[in-house]
Amino acid sequence: MTETAPDLDRLRGGAAPRNHDARTIAALTANPGCARRGVMDAAGVDKDAVARALGFPAPFGQSQFAITRGNVFEQQVKADGCAELLTLLREGLGLDVPEVAYDDLETVAGNEGRELRHIRTRRLLARALETGEGTLFDHPLLRLDIGGRPAYLEPDVIAFQFAGRFHVIEIKSFAVVDGQAEPEQVAAAARQSAVYVLALRDLVAELGHDPERVSHEVFLVCPENFSNRPAATPVDVRPQLAVLRRQLARLTRIDDILAELPADLTFAPGERLAEAVRTVEARYAPECMAGCEMAFFCRDEARACGATGALGRSVRDDLGGLDTIGTALALADGDLDPAADLAETAAQLRLASLLRAEALENAEARRAAEAPPAPAAAPAAAIPESRAS
Amino acid sequence: MSALSALARLEAVRAGRAQPVATVRHVHIADAPLVLVPLKLAGEAAAPLAVMAGAAPDAPSLLIVPQPRNRDQRFAFAASLARLVLNHVETHRGEVEELPGKDGEVRLRYGDAPQLLVPNRGGVRFLRLLGRSTRFRSTEGAYAVDAAVPVLGRWLTWFADRHDHPGSSLLGAATELLRLHWATGQSSLEDGNLAALMGWIDPPDGLDGPSAAALAEDPVRWPPAGPATDPTFDNEVLAPAIAAYDRSGGDARARERLRAAIETQVTPTWELMWRAVGLLRALPEAAGVARRWERDRDAFTHYHQTFGEAYPQARRDPPVRAARRLHDLERAQEAYEAQRAFDDPLVMAEQRLTGAAFGGVVTECHPERLDETGKRPKLRPLLRVATGDPVRLEPGTPVCSAARPALKGRIVEIGGGGVLVELTGGLGRRLVPEAGVVPVEGDRVCFTSRTEGSFGIARFPDREDTPWTHGGPPEDYVPTADDAREDWS
Amino acid sequence: MSGSPDALEARIAELRSGVRRAMAAGDRAEARRLRAALRDAESAWDDAVLGAVDDGGPRDAPGLVPVREQVHQVLTLLGAPAAPKLVGSVHAAFFGGDLPGNRVTSLRRDEERSFRTAPYARPFYLCAALTADLLAPARGLLTVSTWPLERRIVGPLSARTDFLTSAIRLSEHARRGTPSPDARRLLWRFAANIPGAATGTVGTVEPDVLAAAARAELDVHRDADLRRRAAAAARAREGLDDAERLFGSRLRAHPGGRAHTGERDR
């Protein structure tokens, strides 16, 4: 780290840091190349508050019905010492779990401090790895190195020790109907679980054990069909782990980004907030709206400078990677002589433009020829056309 | 996506208004489609909250479930919706046509079929789940439901299945239908918002596309088109209203207030739906639409006629049926794409851009050329077409005319800004072409290498010959008592 | 507030939008203010359109037996620490009637206050279960002050042993009479989650079979669990004052310090 770089506490403007959670992790894996999100998350900045202060509040409110449903289901599965969960493991998955211990790691004697919780998580898992003691570890507090900085993770999961290995158990309240759930929700759950598997593996390795003692097979517990009855599905998250590892490795090192920034930079509320945020470059894509609180601000910025990426990554790809709408249109119109490396893209755009024009002109001509010009025909057009059969 | 549709988006940005990506309408729009705007309770798979339904813009019915967690109320709702939907199905069969069928038998086809329209894909998904959660219900015994409920379930399941079928117009999602014809200056993700999409296509007076879309993103002004509701509506309006209803013990006035609150969330979407229907209707219908609607009517006729003998659709398809279905869908997809290109030069432009088709002016024509190398002379006219398209076809590739797919040919040579085509079919039976069949010098023509029906007919084993690799012949699916009793909570 | 129903409706719509906008923008104070105005407008609308109606209010049926005694009754039956939710379902199943959940949850605080004001003034107190490692109050578990400390302390295995113990106690209780449908449902919930306990048709439970199955699994857990509970109880007797022994010790801990020794003598 260079001496001139702003430190993370100053970036936060003195506010308490926020932990990584499911959303920041989703954003992380969805858009690893965004420096703005990277820096703000590394500093634990309250992005929601920043977005609101900028006049672009993130529409991530949750319905109380959804929250209640999620809580009720989770409580039900975990009630009475995880009685239902245990039955799922024993009967649903056929695992031989004679003795069951349950350790709640969400608070340490009423204290929710994350250092304390992390220490306790480490201690209990270390003991479990050595002696095999313990079965269900609820709400472990993990740490993951993100962009060269350790980040705390607060997974809403259970680490389940079975036959010397740990499995991540994630309880989700979306329904699995006839063995199928909404693909986006399953994908998101698998992605999140992979993050937790990785963080658990880091911890296990730190404790001097083989990281493979954390299984790539996680258990997803969801309501079955339209009932409240839980069902467990094993999910192999190896593909997600591979993607995640690659993206974490690709993550621009936060320290390198910080080194480029002015030393007095801060995201504290105030008149210069927007300017400060713009200092750190964003990489907006429409997918950001599903996971990042800053998305509406970044979208506005991307639209204002006519970025093709604001229309979607595939649009940008279809335009041969051209960044700005103005350039692409000028090439399509034939108003701009392309540089050598853009020759192919330019030719395709020019042709596309001519083909569009030709088709639309012909259609217009045909319509003009077919439509009787007399205004008397207007009422007829209002009658729905009769069906050919 | 392609450079062509990407360019359409850029043009939309420049114009501040959606741009056409089709010159004709590729879907059937019924005279009186049944528009359904469903809402569900957040956090639940398929707990209905309300549906606004009707086949005319000025006659919506609003059905609600005042306490969406109450099983009895849910089934009462399902029964009301069933009456509405089933009535629509039964009154949209039209006249029965008699057609010659196999083995000299007469085949029937209804002259019409019911069309359901929902705002978006979420609406389709909701109907599918509602179908799944109602089709196995028993109408007798301890958990008896209204006789119409399982019938509704089976029909909704059938509509949702048909939606998967490319080119079918029986169940349509407005956002998908609109996007088939217009490109906006926003991302496809944002196009999922019906109000924003309509804002780009048909902005209100005084607004352009971007400003109309921006307003549409305010959920207070433009409630989401469902089935999910806006969380602030849930928390600030719906939850207190449901709680008040519960406290009142089902009081009619509390129910009325709840209804009025829900109405504010569906009415704007209801109006958008009919505006969308109007916009689509105003487009000239593509030539292939009637033919595809005929397939829809065939499917409807078959399902309607065999409804009485059939069981509810199984929870999962047995292997042979699944494989056949997949194959059918792939074939339908290909035929649908080919038809759309033939019907619409703007769709054909995609093929020209990628070099699978080419268009231009005929510069040289030998309409009566004969190929006399074989035993008997064959009529093989030659055409040279001047084109600027980047043709990526090899000599020998079979092609057909976009304007008249029956007119077939093959490429002889490419080069010098032109393509030489030898015509091989669709010329008539004699050694001189029928009048007007062969294009003449100066005509604009377009030939494509993509033809309908190049996907062969696949052979699948009969059900009883299902190979052991696929689990052997499946048991007949018979709904069980468990199916009927399944929780719906 | 006054006005025609139309004017009121317009105002209600406007206030609703206002509340939702304020919440979306994260302005809670403004949302609270508007929400209050909204409730006023709604009740004015009710008065204007529907005439004055009894809105019901929270109809808290005055029970004959105070909540703390009902909870005591249930815990005595179960004979093991229990979460408020379980207490509620056992009460409904075996004693009839609903226990208001929020009242049960707030009980522990009230009891602690009462004990600290006048220690041992009552024959029993409803108090916390203590965690074996830190002797802190375990989240969401209720116990009775008169129980031996070993029973009131919970270690990692105790969740399961207590569940099994409760199953045995409930099945013994059920055998003595004809269980209500609610009770049968509750027993089924236990049976469904204990290996070998659900032998008959779905939904029906044989109390003897349930008890036997629970005992069999309890045998696997009991000794280890008891050892840990006893060790922790000894520490509690030594190190905690009376109130702490009932309601748990708040963390005085510094990581690795005294408060954590418990974990080492497991």
- pLDDT, tens digit, for every residue of B188-208? 999 999 999 999 999 999 999
Exposure string of C154-180, with b = 16+ CB inside 10 Å and e = fewer, is bbbbbbbbbbbbbbbbbbebbeeeebe
Token code pair at residue B226? 């469902």
Structure token digits, residue B275? 């505006």
What does the alpha-carbon distance between residue A63 and residue C101 come to, in Å, rounded to a whole number?
A: 22
∠ CA(A27), CA(A29), CA(A30), 5° rounding?
60
Contacts of B125 in chain A (CB under 8 A): 182
Round to whole Å and give the CA distance between A69 and B234.
Answer: 13
pLDDT at residue A99, rounded to an integer: 86
Q: Which amino acid is at B346?
A: L
Interface-testing mutation among C6, C8, C16, C53, with chain B (most B C-beta atoms within 10 A):
C16
B45, closest residue in chain A (CA to CA): A175
Residue B481: predicted pLDDT? 61
Chain B residues touching C13 at Cβ < 8 A: 264
Please spell the DSSP secondary structure of B124-159, one letter per residue.
HHHHHHHHHHHTT--SSSTT---THHHHHHHHHHHH
CB pair distance less than 8 Å for A111 and C195: no
Q: What is the pLDDT of residue A27?
A: 67
CB contact under 8 A, B345 and A286: no
Indicate if the pLDDT at residue C58 is higher than 60. Answer: no
**Does residue A380 have a pLDDT over 70?**
no
Does residue C214 have a pLDDT over 90? yes
Interface test with chain C among B221, B232, B265, by most C beta carbons within 10 Å: B232
Out of B31, B346, B388, the one facing A356 most closely (by C-beta) is: B346
Minimal CA–CA distance to B172: which of B164, B163, B180, B181?
Answer: B163
Q: Amino acid letter at A202? A: D
Question: Which candidate from C16, C20, C50 shows the least CB-CB separation from B253?
Answer: C50
Q: Collect all residues of chain A within an 8 Å Cβ-Cβ radius of residue C260.
A: 123
Contact residues, chain A, for C101 at CB < 8 Å: none
Domain edges within chain A: 1-282, 305-367
Of A379 and B8, more confident: B8
* Pair type for strands B171-173 and B116-118: parallel
The model's pLDDT over A105-151, given as tens digits with 9 standing for 90+, comes to 887 777 777 888 899 999 999 999 999 888 999 999 988 887 777 77
Question: How far apart (Å, rounded) are the C-alpha atoms in residues C228 and B260?
Answer: 60
Q: Any alpha helices (H) in chain A, and if so which ranges?
A: 8-11, 22-30, 35-42, 47-53, 64-87, 114-131, 183-206, 238-250, 254-260, 273-279, 295-304, 313-318, 325-333, 343-370, 378-382
Q: Model confidence over C71-117: pLDDT tens digits? A: 999 999 999 999 998 999 999 888 887 787 777 778 888 888 888 88
Report pLDDT digits (tens) over A323-333: 899 999 999 99
- What residues does each domain of chain C span? 5-50, 67-264
Which of C17, C46, C56 is facing B220, going by the closest CB pair? C17
Residue B489 has pLDDT above 70, yes or no: no
Closest CA to B127 of B27, B55, B227, B262: B227
Q: Compute the distance between CA of residue B488 and CA of residue C166 in angstroms, rounded to an integer.
A: 30
CA–CA gap between residue B283 and residue A385 (Å, rounded): 10
B72-113 pLDDT, tens digit per residue, is 999 999 999 999 999 999 999 988 888 887 777 888 999 999
Residue B378 exposed, middle or buried by CB count within 10 Å (0-12, 13-18, 19+): middle
Nearest to A76 by CA among C124, C193, B186, B172: C193
| Element of type H or E holding C165 | helix C158-175
ipTM of the complex: 0.86
- Mean of pLDDT over chain B: 89
Instruction: List domains and CATH numbers for chain B.
Output: 3-313 (no CATH), 357-448 (2.40.30)
| Structural tokens at position B56 | 């005319």
Between C247 and C45, the higher pLDDT residue: C247
Q: Which residue in chain B is spatially nearest to A362 when comparing CA positions?
A: B345
Calculate mean pLDDT across residues A234-242: 91
User: Directed axis angle between helix B345-354 and helix B3-15, to 10°?
Assistant: 130
Q: Using an 8 Å Cβ cutoff, are A115 and A135 in contact?
A: no
d(CA B221, CA C17): 8
Neighbours of chain C (3+ CB pairs under 8 A): A, B
Interface check for A63 against chain B (CB to CB < 8 A): the answer is yes
Q: Is the pLDDT of residue B463 over 70?
A: no
Q: In this complex, is the C-beta atom of C226 within 8 Å of any C-beta atom belonging to chain A?
A: no
B227 upstream amide cis, omega within 30 of 0: yes
DSSP string, A157-189: EEEEEETTEEEEEEE--S-BBTTB--HHHHHHH
| CA separation, residue B146 to residues B139, B486, C44, C74 (Å) | 6, 16, 40, 41
C-beta separation of C23 from C49 below 8 A: no
Q: Which among A168, A161, A173 has a CA at the least distance from the CA of A142? A: A168
